Homo-oligomer: A and B are copies of this chain.
Amino acid sequence: MAGYSLTRRGLMLVLSSPSGAGKTTVARALLETESDLKMSVSATTRAPRPGEKDGADYFFVTSDAFNGMVARGEFLEHARVFGNLYGTPRAAVERQLAAGRDVLFDIDWQGTQQLRETAPEDLVTIFILPPSLTELERRLRSRAQDSDDTVRHRMDRANSEMSHWAEYDYVFVNRDLAASIANVRTIMVAERLKRSRQVGMSEFVNAMRLDG
């Protein structure tokens, strides 16, 4: 019975939601407590905002560099949003998964759809809904000094993002932040117990049955 190592495949955990529904706060709380979980850092051609760090918030790259990565197949998914390019570099994700650790993705429905095509077996997708659009708008207005036009634009985008909730594996309404964090953690722990992710289980059971 010696020498059988029970490990597991890492998860690609996708959190999507309209902006303002609490996704970023949930993600941050998870990353603080889950040592096996790392955030996927996207590459983007947009300019850094004040306080954003290259390599931590995003990899800030030129359009030429981005297109080179696309051409070499170095992205798991990529998309153009509001005129800027965004993409998930493949290598860092694959290293983390191969080590039996999990990767958290903060991407929209389009990115999720692409991941579904490139890596369906490792993917676990969660959609977080706001309690109401009124509440969503209140949150968007309270957190920024955006113009009415910008808020309206974000609300349109939220509305469109929400139309894709039914493409996700799990869905819940973020009424209470602590409960929402617990929900995502619970989903992650349960998904780790899926038979399909148990590496070495076949050998373990076979060895046990031969011994018996």
Measured CB to CB, the residues of A under 8 A from B are: 1, 6, 127, 129-130, 132-134, 136-137, 155, 158-159, 162-163, 165-166, 168-173, 183, 186-187, 189-191, 193-195, 198, 201-202, 204-205, 208-209, 211-212
Contacts and interface: CB of A to CB of B under 8 A. Distances in A.
Contacts of A162: 205, 208-209
Contacts of A211: 132-134
Contacts of A163: 205, 209
Contact of A183 (B1, B193, B212): B193
9 contacts: A129-B205, A134-B211, A155-B212, A162-B205, A163-B209, A166-B202, A168-B195, A170-B195, A186-B190
A170 B193 contact: yes
A208 B133 contact: yes
A155 B134 CA distance: 61
B208 A132 contact: yes
Binding site secondary structure of chain A:
helix
B190 A159 contact: no
Contacts of A166: 195, 202
B189 A186 contact: yes
Contacts of A137: 212
A170 B201 CA distance: 12
Contact of A190 (B129, B158, B191): B191
Contact of A195 (B132, B171, B202): B171
Contact of A198 (B130, B171, B195): B171
A88 to B, nearest CB: 23
Contact of A173 (B6, B127, B194): B6
Contacts of A201: 165, 171
Given A169-B195, A171-B193, 9 more contacts: A134-B212, A155-B212, A162-B205, A163-B205, A170-B190, A171-B195, A171-B198, A183-B193, A186-B193
